[in-house]
Amino acid sequence: MDTNGSSNATPSPRISIRRRVADAGDSYDDAHTDAAGLPTYQFSKSRRTASSRRCCCCSSNSNNSILVYLFLVAVGALTLGLYIGLVFSSMQLPFIGKPHTSKQPQLIQSPPLSSLHQIYQEQAAAQINALNEVIQTQKEAMSKQAKELAALHAAVRVPYKVATPKSGTDVHRKNVKHKYTPQINNPDQEVDSPNEKGTTGKAALNTKHDAHDTQLRQHQQMVDLTLSSNKKDASDIKLQPSTSDITEVTDWKTLPSSSVWCYGSKRADRVCRFRNLCYHPKHDDWFILKTNSSVLHNVPDQVKSETLLETGTVENHPYFFWNYVEASPFHPSLQNIKVRFEDLPHFIFKRLHPKNIMHNLHDDLLGMYYMLKEFVGRGTSSRYMPFSLDGHRVLIIDPYDATDSTRIFQYLTNFPLRFSSYLKQKNEEHIVTCFRDAYVGNTKLTTWYQYGFNEPQGPIAGKSVNGMYLREVGEWFMRRLVLPLGHDEDPTIKDLHPLPSLPSNGTYGKEVDFQDTDTIVVLSRKGNRLILNEEQMAKDLEKAFGYKVIFVSNEQHTFEEQIVFLRKARIVIGMHGSILVMVMFCRRGTVVIEMYPFAVPGDHYTPYKTLASLNGMDLVYRKWENKHSSKSVAHPHNHPLHGGIDTLPLSEQTLIINTLTVPQHKCCASPYWLYRIYQDTEVTTSEVIEIINDALVESRKTLVRVRETNFHKVDVLPALVKNIRCLEHANRPPNTLWMAWDPPWNGVKIEKWNVHTMNDGSNYITMGSEPTISIPNLKTNTTIRVFIRPVIGTWKGDWSSRGECVV
């Protein structure tokens, strides 16, 4: 449309057509097309003939002839104008030119699209159709993903069937050579001694080894036995080291200078960042290239004689002690050498137990999550991601490589995991591996339990771990697995299921339970520490509470499947064991029942009770202890680390069997502990049901509190006092100062204010939270200089900037 015209018609696209006004002698050049694919034309002058330059009116006719001729021309022009007007009117073309104006706006019906409009519309429609096809494809992909996730949620494994034990003929007892029944009424009475034939004496410990060597040897035996077990966890997708994920070796004339930045005041809490940290496989040493330009920040002076840091989170365990060697890049042995140089940052640590989910989560993954959160940026990741996954690698330097529970560490990086074997490639003992950036060690921020290496096991003394740290890691896994979060976990989620009116007496029923389907999850074991009447227990629980019972185990379910099932659990039941650490993924208010075999006092072994009790976890924990020796099956012929005692002297075997409560002990080879903890148990279901009923009362109170609480909200300190001003009013008494200031902008409620006057050093305390004060008995025309700070209880804030008022 012309810029001077107006119309209510649908605007047409702007079409650029290059054109010149042609006179009678112009002719068309070849047609061209513009950017929209529409034809454009150019005009050029043709040669004019002589006749074309002659005027048709330049003759010597009479005046009458001229008048007649002009009259006929006028009539013809009028007729032609009327005809053209009728044609344009019938075509209903939009008005071009100056628009008609009137006092009232006119509604003009939109004309039909011209051919140019139609071409443009067809092109736009084609683009819209193509875009719709892309959107439809994305919707189909999202729908498919949602169906797969729903199938995973709905998946229920067939319960593992264990026959109810029958006295004297049970399959779990038929291979036991000796069945011992301790005399509970007379603990000192000697029981029937086992046959001495074939037994051997207990291997004596080498007294020349100190306590550290003993710990290392026992730890190695325990891990080796676990790794050599024929039991395979079906929860695993093995993450074998990749043979193709190896950095190319290059020749280096001189290695670059190293620097070290350490954080922490002592070995137990120190982690260090390295620039150019190297490993020499021939000497099995980590080393730095020290030069006059090396930065050694917060590195202790005695680093040469004392280990620098611990590569794991178990404090003061010699297995984790780590140090580096100082080397000169100018020494001939390090000149002109082959180097595998790693450009990406590597996070380096050790695992205590490579095949135990409790140790992998508690000792390793939780700490590494916060290491990455501290040292790695978010990059291009979602705002929900605390760190990027595509700019660093994880190197695990214990000697065990990939195991059945390694998969959880792959969530820490998008690159394949690396293990100590990467540093020791076959036939490459002279090839040095150097890391441009390396972070060595692991934070102990989230560890809550010590395993009894220096004292009997229990919660770490004097340490209170914030359960919200664990919740954050759990929610991170939820987002990675595309699982829904509750409103107590994500404050941005609006609660679509408000609580109904609650009884005033504080007693609640199922009306406050989780809105979606609830289940009872039994954490099942397949190799040892069995629940002998597992199937019957499941039937009794389902009958008592009306919840579906699901068996979850490491052997049958992946790490991700376990999380899915536990997120739907109302009640979780399991024998004392590592899989109970998975309750950290449960919803707040979930009931957790930990069961202990006969003679094992639950109060002495509390990693999961401590976990459930951390501030912010809000799990309702209860324990059940088997008090019936007749419902317990021991295995004295097992390997000693799995409860076997038949290699011990007969007197010691008898003492162990007659001891009805495992005495407290250090880790890790107490035969009293191992003999009892590896017993199989027939659970007294009626006792468990009674415990659950009591726990549900507390659980429902917890659920009410959870739904009314923002767990992310904490008390904050007030901002500094600002905008101190003097108040003038006709009612202000003489010699009295009236003053006001702004309350804290961050909304903190103040109990009272402390006002200090510089003139005489006086301090005034307001009687309320109002940010005003009246100070009497001052000299007229005196400039009063003041500082003001907030007071909350015994806490006093920082002083404000100086304010001045004239009385």
Task: Kindly indicate the confidence band of residue 484, based on its pLDDT and cuts at 50, 70 and 90.
Answer: confident
| Mean pLDDT of all residues in 244-255 | 93
Rounded-to-integer distance, Cα 663 and Cα 512, Å? 42
The enclosing domain of 785 has a CATH number of 2.60.40.10
State the amino acid at position 453 in one-letter form: F
Residues 769 and 695 in one domain: no
- Helix, strand, coil in percent for the chain, rounding step 5: 30, 20, 55
Question: Is residue 501 pLDDT above 80, yes or no?
Answer: no
Give domain status of residue 516, yes or no: yes
In this structure, the answer to whether residues 300 and 420 fall within a common structural domain is yes
Question: Tens digits of per-residue pLDDT, 645-677?
Answer: 999 999 999 999 999 999 999 999 999 999 999
Predicted pLDDT at 639 = 96
First to last CA, the chain: 72
Tokens of 460: 């770490």
Q: Which of 131-135, 162-166, 382-386 has the highest mean pLDDT?
A: 382-386
Q: What is the pLDDT of residues 709-747, one digit of tens each?
A: 877 888 899 999 999 999 988 888 988 999 999 999 999
| Angle between helices 559-567 and 467-480 in degrees, nearest 10 | 110
Q: Is 461 left (phi over 0), alpha (psi -120 to 50) or beta?
A: beta
* Average pLDDT of the residues in 400-425: 93
b/e map 110-135, b = 16+ CB within 10 Å? ebeeeeebebbeeeeeeeeeeeeeee
560 within domain boundaries? yes
The Cα–Cα gap between 747 and 697 comes to 37
pLDDT single digits (tens) 352-385: 999 999 999 999 999 999 999 999 987 666 777 8
Q: Verify that 566 and 692 share a domain, yes or no.
A: yes
- Inter-residue contact 272 to 233 (CB < 8 Å): no
| CATH number reported for the structural domain that contains residue 688 in this entry | 3.40.50.280
Asked if residue 675 lies in contact with residue 645, where contact means CB atoms within 8 angstroms, the answer is yes
pLDDT of residue 254: 95
Indicate the Cα dihedral angle 450, 456, 458, 460, nearest 10°: -50
Question: 760 falls in which pLDDT band (50, 70, 90)?
Answer: confident
Interhelix angle 115-154/559-567, rounded to 10 degrees, is 90
Do 615 and 726 sit in the same domain of this protein?
no
Query: Please, how many CA atoms are within 13 Å of residue 113, restricted to the half-sphere of its CB?
Result: 11
Task: Report CA dihedral (625, 631, 637, 639) to the nearest 10 degrees.
Answer: -30
Q: Tell whether the model's pLDDT for residue 85 goes beyond 90.
A: no
Q: What is the mean pLDDT of residues 759-775?
A: 90
- Give the per-residue pLDDT at 381: 65
Asked if residue 549 is part of any domain, the answer here is yes
Asked if residue 570 belongs to a domain, the reply is yes
**Is 292 within a domain?**
yes
What's the domain count of the chain? 4
What value does the mean pLDDT take over residues 761-769?
Answer: 89
Residue 452 lies in a domain: no
Domain assignment present for 92:
no
Residue 429 amino acid letter: E
Angstrom distance (rounded) from CA 416 to CA 339:
21
321-322 vs 309-310, strand pairing mode: antiparallel
Mean pLDDT, to the nearest integer, of 457-472? 96
pLDDT tens-digit profile of 19-58?
333 343 444 344 444 443 433 434 333 444 444 444 444 4
So what's the pLDDT on residue 768? 86
Would you state the pLDDT for residue 711?
A: 79
Identify the domain containing residue 744 by its residue range: 722-806
Say if residue 340 is in the same domain as residue 427.
yes
Average pLDDT, the chain: 79
With the CA atoms of 792, 793, 798 and 803 taken in that order, what torsion angle do they form, in degrees rounded to the nearest 10? Answer: 60
Mean pLDDT of 157-183: 34
Q: Are 275 and 333 members of one domain?
A: yes
Q: What are phi and psi of 446, to 5 degrees?
A: -110, 0
Output the pLDDT for position 704: 86
Q: Which helix (H) or strand (E) holds 437?
A: strand 432-440
Instruction: Read off the pLDDT of residues 424-451 as tens digits, 9 standing for 90 and up.
Output: 999 999 999 999 999 999 999 999 999 9
Q: What percent of the chain has pLDDT over 70?
A: 67
**Residues 699 and 777 both lie in one domain:** no
Peptide bond into 586 cis (omega under 30): no
How far, in Å, CA of 36 to CA of 119, rounded? 10
What is the token pair recorded at 7? 């119309």
Rg (CA), the chain: 42
Same domain, 612 and 478: yes
Residue 195 in this model has a pLDDT that exceeds 90:
no
Buried b (16+ CB within 10 A) or exposed e, 243-265: eeeeeeeeebeebebbbbebbee
Report the relative pairing of strands 620-625 and 569-575 from DSSP bridges: unpaired
Distance CA 401, CA 395 (A): 10
Question: Higher model confidence: residue 139 or residue 171?
Answer: 139
Residues 478 and 594 in one domain: yes
Same domain, 518 and 625: yes
Q: Which SS3 state, helix, strand or coil, does residue 339 take?
A: strand
pLDDT score of 202: 32
Phi, psi of 593 (to 5 degrees): -110, 115
Q: What is the pLDDT of residue 157?
A: 36
What is the pLDDT at residue 518?
A: 85
Query: 751 pLDDT exceeds 90?
Result: yes
Q: Is pLDDT at 97 greater than 50 in this prediction?
A: no
pLDDT of res. 21? 36
The reply to whether 433 and 550 lie within a common domain is no
Q: Is residue 553 part of a domain?
A: yes
The pLDDT-based confidence of 686 (bands split at 50, 70, 90) is very high
Same domain, 587 and 617: yes
Do residues 722 and 744 lie in contact, with contact meaning Cβ atoms separated by under 8 Å? no
226 close to 554: Cβ distance less than 8 angstroms: no
pLDDT reported for residue 759: 87
Residues 615/464, Cβ–Cβ less than 8 Å: yes
